[in-house]
Structure 1
């Protein structure tokens, strides 16, 4: 029987089980998950938070991570500035990045979500407004959401992946995980 783990990755945690990159060790998945044989299905950058799926099933891992399966990934994104409808429409059409155009995204402005505090907190600037977006993409380029919001003039301040396909962070606090059912399609 395959296992699937839903982990709420905190900010600053490497999305791997070991840290081979620095002389001062950073927190890794092994600081939170003690389950041999599971591996991340996809990436979630060091400075991003939220849902990271881990599995012991290579086929499931590929189905989740491989962009050709177009599994939707939804993010809650705090951006700098007051994103207007014209900017959001650019994301809906697809924006041009250095590595080519993106697929169209689903995006809407949302009220600030009831999230856990981030450590360290986002730097607040009284003279610069910010707003929150719910953004869904169906591809997975390196730092794609951050590059997309920057391309429309609204750099990302905080990025929380909320869902991948039907799996969500509901009831999974930061730094915690739970096993999930695997739905075959």
Structure 2
């Protein structure tokens, strides 16, 4: 029996490439061992069948940013029920239009960003990309979010005007935002710098009870729609290369 060797060594021998190129092919998910993709160059092989995808190409591996439709009842950032446990290879949205190849390394060291209420649902971001992290943390108060808030009750006189400008939260006056009725029971908020609990508090100040909150958009990035409708709760898609918040 042959002595075990690193997969990168075997790929280099079989496909006449340098060791560095072999490692890049492997990390990019182009190499299969006995029909299964292996992404670890240090993986040991002996007599197993090793194949290189005919479409394999040498390219840098971009860090992943994942857009997830968080269901209500899960914690976005901190808490006992982290939404991040739902982000797995098998929960990828079938209609993901990004064209990004799924790699298991994309699920390592994902940082959840942009807090939201536990009982809210909608767009959540998890990333490995420092550029996305900086944009969504350092520029957080400059990025507009869009929410649909389902409410019950009778709005106070001039309540819609006050929602747009004239309320306070946690002792500070809130800057202007854009609030309008989507239908008789749903308000659309386009708002910057929103804090956990703020939308419920704003609605309460004008006599409305909040039944549900759903975040549709962060900056220029929306949940997404496909041929079978919007991305459903519990599913995720990749942020395509070049698309920015």
Specify the TM-score bucket, using the shorter chain as the normaliser: 0.7 to 0.9
Cα distance in 1 for partners of 2:179, 2:72 equals 23
CA-based RMSD: 2.4
1:179 aligns with 2:234: no
Counterpart of 1:28?
83
Contiguous gaps of at least 5 residues in structure 1: 112-129
Cα distance in 2 for partners of 1:95, 1:107 equals 13
Q: In 2, are the aligned partners of 1:67 and 1:140 still within 8 Å (CA)?
A: no
Cα distance in 1 for partners of 2:185, 2:243 equals 34
Aligned pair partner of 1:63 in 132, 135, 148: 135
1:27-176 correspondence to structure 2 within 5 Å: 28-33=83-88, 35-66=107-138, 69-83=141-155, 86-111=158-183, 131-171=185-225, 172-176=231-235
Instruction: Spell out structure 1 runs of 4+ moving beyond 6 A.
Output: none
Q: Post-superposition shift, 1:40?
A: 1.3
Cα distance in 2 for partners of 1:2, 1:133 equals 36
Cα distance in 1 for partners of 2:216, 2:243 equals 18
Cα distance in 2 for partners of 1:99, 1:84 equals 21
Q: In 2, are the aligned partners of 1:75 and 1:161 still within 8 Å (CA)?
A: yes
Aligned residues: 161
Contiguous gaps of at least 5 residues in structure 2: 1-61, 90-106, 226-230
> SS of the counterpart of 1:157?
strand
Give the TM-score, by structure 1 length.
0.76
Q: Post-superposition shift, 1:167?
A: 1.0
